[in-house]
């Protein structure tokens, strides 16, 4: 057993003693009851289980949780799908996912949402040329698998958020 503490969606969690072989996915879903993070392939291949890791230097990246031990998240700050909406208000990205009918079963949606949010925050710091938009969005979402084939609509939804606020995201 190892005792860990971390920050999830801005709130401290722990210290809590967990088995060393407990995955982060099981920690979120089974220990904390945060079932928004899904479990798909269980082999770090589909990214439906990805959460956002916020680094101390202000950068963020997604990371799959299905095979990562929860103890490796000790001291980290992460965000999950439950942390996006505030006071019942959806983020622009969540709203566009709905408007574009980007998902069907929704199983892959938390991973796409987290990845899209990381991209938006990155573009706020480093805007891109309009001509690069399709490529940059496609590269950012690459690796996220959707069994309902929602790829095109996910890409459209992310691009729509960016195009709706060009002063923020485009150079
Ligand atoms: S469930 Fe983690 S990558 Fe598929
Ligand atoms: S919406 Fe069903 S897996 Fe993507």
Q: Tokens standing for 14?
A: 């722990």
Answer whether 104 contacts ligand 2 (Cβ < 6 A): yes
3-state helix, strand, coil in the chain (%, to 5): 40, 20, 40
My answer on whether 72 and 138 are in the same domain is: no
Looking at the structure, tell me whether residues 15 and 71 fall in a common domain: yes
Q: Which of 55, 83, 111 is the last residue of a domain?
A: 83
Tell me the ligand closest to 149's alpha carbon: 2
Residue 111: CB within 6 Å of ligand 2?
Answer: no
pLDDT digits (tens, 9 = 90+) for 28-51: 999 999 999 999 999 999 999 999
- If asked whether residues 113 and 132 sit together in one domain, one would say yes
Q: Is the CB of 68 under 6 A from ligand 1?
A: no
Q: What is the CATH number of the domain that holds 97?
A: 1.10.150.120
Structure token pair of residue 153: 């609509």
Residues of the chain with pLDDT under 50: none
Same domain, 70 and 110: no
Neighbours of 142 (CB within 10 A): 10
CB 66 less than 6 A from any atom of ligand 1: yes
Chain segment 146-166, per-residue pLDDT in tens? 999 779 999 999 999 999 999
* Residues in contact with 127: Cβ distance below 8 Å, sequence separation at least 6, in sequence order: 168, 169, 170, 171
Q: Which of 83, 116, 143 is the last residue of a domain?
A: 83
Pair (97, 73) in one structural domain: no
Range of the domain at 115: 92-169
For residue 10, the domain's CATH number is 3.10.20.30
Same-domain status, 109 and 75 = no
Do residues 13 and 53 both lie within one domain? Answer: yes
Among residues 56, 49, 168, 167, the alpha carbon closest in space to that of 114 is found at 49
Question: Residue 74's pLDDT is what?
Answer: 98
Are 60 and 125 found together in one domain? no
Q: How many domains does the chain have?
A: 2
Query: What is the reported pLDDT for 150?
Result: 77
Residue with the nearest Cα to atom 1 of ligand 1? 40
């Amino acid at each position: 057993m190892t005792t860990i503490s971390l920050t999830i969606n801005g709130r401290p969690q722990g210290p809590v003693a967990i088995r060393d072989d407990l995955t982060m996915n099981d920690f979120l879903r089974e220990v904390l009851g945060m079932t928004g993070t899904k479990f798909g392939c269980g082999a770090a291949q589909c990214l439906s289980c990805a959460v956002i890791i916020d680094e101390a230097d202000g950068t963020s990246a997604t990371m799959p949780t299905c095979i990562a031990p929860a103890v490796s998240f000790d001291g980290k700050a992460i965000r999950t799908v439950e942390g996006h909406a505030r006071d019942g208000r959806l983020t622009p990205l969540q709203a566009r996912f709905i408007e574009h009918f980007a998902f069907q079963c929704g199983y892959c949606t938390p991973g796409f949402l987290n990845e899209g949010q990381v991209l938006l925050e990155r573009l706020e710091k480093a805007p891109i040329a309009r001509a690069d938009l399709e490529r940059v969005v496609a590269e950012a979402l690459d690796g996220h698998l959707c069994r309902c084939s929602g790829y095109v609509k996910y890409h459209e939804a992310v691009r729509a958020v960016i195009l709706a606020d060009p002063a923020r995201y485009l150079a």
